[in-house]
Amino acid sequence: MTASNSSTTGEDAFSSAAIEALLAPAVRRLPPPTSLSPLPYDLNAGVPDRATLPWQALAAAAQRAIEENPGVALTYGGTQGYEPLRAWIAERQAAETGVDVTSAHVTLTAGSAQGIDNVAATFLSPGDVVLCGAPTYPGAIRTFRARGATIIDVPQDDDGMVMSALERVLETRRMTGQQAKLIYCTANYDNPTGHTLPVERREALVRIAQAHGVLLLEDDAYTGIDLDGPPPRSLFSIAKGRGIMRVGTFSKTIATGLRVAWIVAQPEIVRQLVFARFDNGASPFLHRMVLEYLRGGTYDSHVAMLCDLYRERRDASAAALVEFAEPYVSFKRPAGGFYHWLKLAPGLDAQAVFEAGKRHGVAVTPGTGYFANGGGEDHIRLVFSALPPDQLRPAIAAFAEGLAEVAAAAKR
């Protein structure tokens, strides 16, 4: 029964239950997003360090952006976004990928999360198939599901997406006559696994996607947070920019609150992405402010400083995990990004570990939230980016006490 055909009238017609009944079915079935935790130690929310946000430089950039031309900065700026900022991004992408990227290859979005939704809005109809690593970023799962798409899992091992499995899935889809539309992949510092796809797998992924005529969506949310040097060549570079959309963001390298990000793709694709935007574009003021900040010349040194900071946190948290939690978890050190992906020892359940962590004042994330079609009961994601080393150590010690409790209960 929906609110509109219920006999209830007045305020009750708009109770939360009634509102829920009105939701689009695809949205009603979505899992909730992760959020900041009120616990003393939050190792759950994948957020950058707050103390190093470059707010003074951004404030000065905002002032310059608005004073230079207030009428233009504060008026609709078009759906593709501010051309000089697109040109700045294009220049960097061209240098990095060796592909002739121009501002026509770039469209600006409100965060890469909206970039993923823009891709989904443009290419996915209900019932279309998207292939994702299992596990994968829950925001992508929610976005594809909200658009009515079906997600098919491609298993991940310690090096990321398994190419033989991908090939098998695509071959099976081809034989049924219902080929997948899109492959979604975070090749650098995956969320939640932290894995970086080796170059041979990248080459295989591009070859397989192109052979099957399936679009690639490369999610670069953590690219730049390179803790062990630059990552291998991007999928976009290997694909020479054909049949691929590469989503990037200033969220992790400047500030998540900016909501300034981009999609790079061949112009034929960009035109369609821009056409399928229904929000009158992102903020021209923010685009000008970000460009002013970038032109200020401190961006690269800021990112280098962040890499030093996060490297120290990764290493401190890895050492604490070895010291306090090793009998209960194993993990591979990520080469970048924000996350440890902990494999629980046999007999330990992620939900029980999550509850025990809470009792000890530590928020972590059960692995189950990262699987579109089930799994993850034997994994925990632990964020190392948000807390300094002197808090990471006691947080992980407290978390390990929770692990020990769960292990003791499992033995009984």
Positions in the binding site for ligand PLP (CB under 6 A)? 46, 111-113, 137, 139, 186, 191, 219, 221, 249, 251, 256, 261
CB of 225 to ligand PLP, least distance (A): 11
CB of 340 to ligand PLP, least distance (A): 14
Q: CA-CA distance, 95 to 102, in Å (whole number)? A: 11
Main-chain dihedrals φ then ψ at residue 279, nearest 5 degrees: -115, 15
Q: Which two tokens stand for residue 143?
A: 């976005």
Q: Which is nearer to ligand PLP, 110 or 320 (CB)?
A: 110
Q: CA-CA distance, 83 to 70, in Å (whole number)? A: 17
Main-chain dihedrals φ then ψ at residue 136, nearest 5 degrees: -155, 175
Q: CA-CA distance, 393 to 39, in Å (whole number)? A: 16
CB of 137 to ligand PLP, least distance (A): 4
CB of 341 to ligand PLP, least distance (A): 13
Q: Which is nearer to ligand PLP, 313 or 360 (CB)?
A: 313
CB of 224 to ligand PLP, least distance (A): 12
Main-chain dihedrals φ then ψ at residue 246, nearest 5 degrees: -115, 115
Q: Which is nearer to ligand PLP, 382 or 398 (CB)?
A: 382
Q: Which is nearer to ligand PLP, 80 or 188 (CB)?
A: 188
Distance from CA of residue 55 to its chain's centroid? Answer: 23
Q: CA-CA distance, 119 to 105, in Å (whole number)? A: 14
CB of 338 to ligand PLP, least distance (A): 8
* Nearby residues of 29 by Cβ (< 8 Å), 6 or more positions away: 145
Q: CA-CA distance, 301 to 286, in Å (whole number)? A: 21
Q: Which is nearer to ligand PLP, 261 or 352 (CB)?
A: 261
Residue 216 burial class via C-beta count within 10 angstroms: exposed 0-12, middle 13-18, buried 19 and up:
buried
Q: Which is nearer to ligand PLP, 112 or 320 (CB)?
A: 112
> Other C-beta atoms within 10 Å of 66: how many?
16
Q: Which is nearer to ligand PLP, 34 or 210 (CB)?
A: 34
Q: With contact defined as beta carbons under 8 Å apart, do 347 and 235 qualify?
A: no
CB of 249 to ligand PLP, least distance (A): 3
CB of 110 to ligand PLP, least distance (A): 8
Q: Which is nearer to ligand PLP, 307 or 320 (CB)?
A: 307
Torsion sign across C-alpha atoms 311, 199, 273, 181: negative
Q: CA-CA distance, 100 to 91, in Å (whole number)? A: 9
Cα angle at 330 between 167 and 43, to 5 degrees? 95
